[in-house]
Chain A
Amino acid sequence: MHPAFSVIFFTTLIGVAQGLFIALSMSKVYELANQELGLGQAFYSVGGVFVLALLVCGLVASFFHLGHPERAWRAATQWRTSWLSREVIVLPVFMLVVFLFTVIHFFGGSSNSQLAMSLLGVILCFTLFICTGMIYSCLTFLREWATPLTVVNFTLLGCASGFSFATFYADLMAPELVGLLGGMAIMLTIIAFFTRGWALIRNQNLKPKSTLQSAIGSHHSRIKQVSQGQMGGSYNTREFFHGKPLTFIRNIKRIFLITVFPVPIILLWIGMATDASVVLFFAFIIQYVGLLMERWFFFAQANHPQNLYYQTIS
């Protein structure tokens, strides 16, 4: 498939936002169990502002993917059948809950209402991760995507990047939480390494289910395309192929495997041990840039069966 940067930015930005919200909610529960912490409301309200800002940036990025963004409200109507429609409903509801979470903490609402908003937000976070992952995973013939690992990886990578950001954020706002959040960030990154690696190995071993034989209905063992019917390009030659050489693909894979997993883990560890905010900041930034590449690779890796009809110009 041809990766669209608007969708890459959208999924990675809301992933960080969702992970950050889960981190804030985890901190809230941790604070309840350790009353002596006294974190203050600002930690949560400012955190909520960051979550909202990331969600809004992601949403704005996604609008660039649409031909008619002014009709985007219609996208909520087919929630009975379309995962994209479900995501279009869950995302604004989540944004509303985050807004209420921020406002309740800013104005010092009751502890019960704060906890209720956190819990509701976490449920919506996971619902949103599922909706976003299922958009790709429900297309059965895009076999690189059609696995539960897609939803798992969207969730784990989003949470890992969100907790990395939360670690840096906590170092500035609530240093007593750095150990908890940084430890979670490292653990999530390690688990994500295994699940993303599993998906990569699975995809390498996929055997195509659609062949030239099934594409044109001939049973002969040797079929070759002579012409695709036009010499110019078309939507079919642009949208379903990444257009990059094989070496580029291989290099992107190697770079993202390094920048999403081992480098942030090492930097988080150093940052926590030396209490250096700058190191924690770079841990997040490097992981996020790596995630942009990982998402690009995710989209580029899918082989669409329609490419069987567009193999030779003439």
Chain B
Amino acid sequence: MTQLALVIDLNVCVGCHACVTSCKEWNTSGSAGPLPDDNPYGADPTGVFFNRVQTYEVGSFPDTETVHLPKSCLHCEDPPCVPVCPTGASYKRAEDGIVLVDYDKCIGCKYCSWACPYGAREFDEHDQVMKKCTLCVDRIYDDNLPEQERKPACVMACPTSARIFGDVHDAESEASQMIRKNHGFGLMPEWGTQPANQYLPRTIRQSAVAADDGTE
């Protein structure tokens, strides 16, 4: 069974927000209409983003690390947001495991966003429906795009190649290999949601440059 998902390398993410802006650009320019972007130059801007980057400091000075955590819908294998939806607008596709919202069925009761422990769903105040990361389902199956561009917009935009897209149930895919090699993990495993999106942890890197290199 295919489960498409993202693998995000926390070792490489620099928190540039390119994935945030490219995701917003792609999803606000599509057939679903614009995403809310209220008071963008005003005192209290607010809007809907499917992907956000949160930044954490781990450790105590001087032994600190800055960890950037890009987070969108994790397309859980046991998504808590799907059984609670009363209309069936929230569903998980059997063919590729992507969790989607049917904007024509959603009544905007917000129950699914309560049921997501990651806060991955955001309510569109203008359309009055719930929205979230679609794993760019409109890009990955679009035959009008060249084959190497049939990936989510965030994966294409990342300058450090921190985001990998693939089938995490296919043991030979690049995504699965990265998870195995680098000990990928899911967020908040205590709730049993089995997130399909996996994160690669920080590791101690050895410098490729010798200590005395560059001295005359």
A-side interface residues toward B, CB under 8 Å? 1, 65-69, 71-72, 74-78, 81-85, 88, 135, 138-142, 209-210, 212, 214-218, 220, 222-236, 239-240, 304-307, 309-310
Contacts and interface: CB of A to CB of B under 8 A. Distances in A.
25 contacts: A67-B109, A78-B85, A78-B86, A82-B83, A82-B111, A84-B84, A84-B86, A84-B109, A85-B87, A139-B115, A209-B190, A216-B54, A217-B187, A217-B199, A218-B201, A223-B56, A224-B57, A225-B54, A227-B54, A227-B55, A231-B45, A305-B118, A306-B119, A309-B69, A309-B71
A214 B193 CA distance: 13
B101 to A, nearest CB: 12
Nearest to A217: B185
A75 B188 contact: no
Given A217-B199, A236-B122, A210 B117 contact: yes
A298 B205 CA distance: 48
Nearest to B71: A309
Given A81-B83, A218-B58, A229 B20 contact: yes
Given A74-B107, A81-B82, A306-B117, 6 more contacts: A139-B115, A226-B56, A232-B44, A234-B122, A306-B116, A309-B71
Contacts of B116: 306
Interface of B: 10, 17, 20, 39, 44-49, 52-60, 66-67, 69, 71, 80, 82-89, 105-111, 113-119, 122-123, 125, 127-129, 185-191, 199, 201-202
Contacts of B191: 140-141, 210, 305
Contacts of A214: 187-190
A38 to B, nearest CB: 46
A13 to B, nearest CB: 18
A1 B108 CA distance: 17
B114 to A, nearest CB: 6
B46 A309 contact: no
Contacts of B125: 235
A5 to B, nearest CB: 14
Contacts of A227: 54-55
A212 B57 CA distance: 11
Contacts of A215: 187-188
A305 B71 CA distance: 14
B84 A68 contact: no
B86 A216 contact: no
A232 B45 contact: yes
B117 A305 contact: yes
Contacts of B52: 228-230, 309
Contacts of A66: 107-109
Contacts of A218: 56, 58, 67, 201-202
Contacts of A210: 117, 188, 190-191
A211 B83 CA distance: 25
Contacts of B107: 66-69, 71-72, 74-75
Contacts of A217: 10, 185-187, 199, 201
B58 A220 contact: yes
A224 to B, nearest CB: 5
A74 B84 contact: no
Nearest to A230: B52
Contacts of A220: 58-59
Contacts of A85: 86-87
Closest CB pairs A-B (n = 8)? A67-B108, A306-B119, A67-B128, A232-B45, A81-B83, A74-B87, A75-B86, A85-B86
Contacts of B57: 223-226
B30 to A, nearest CB: 20
Contacts of A78: 83, 85-88
B105 A139 contact: no
Contacts of B48: 234-235
Contacts of A88: 86
Contacts of B105: 71, 74
A142 B85 contact: no
B69 A216 contact: yes
A6 to B, nearest CB: 11
Contacts of A82: 83-86, 111
Given A142-B114, A305-B117, A68 B123 contact: no
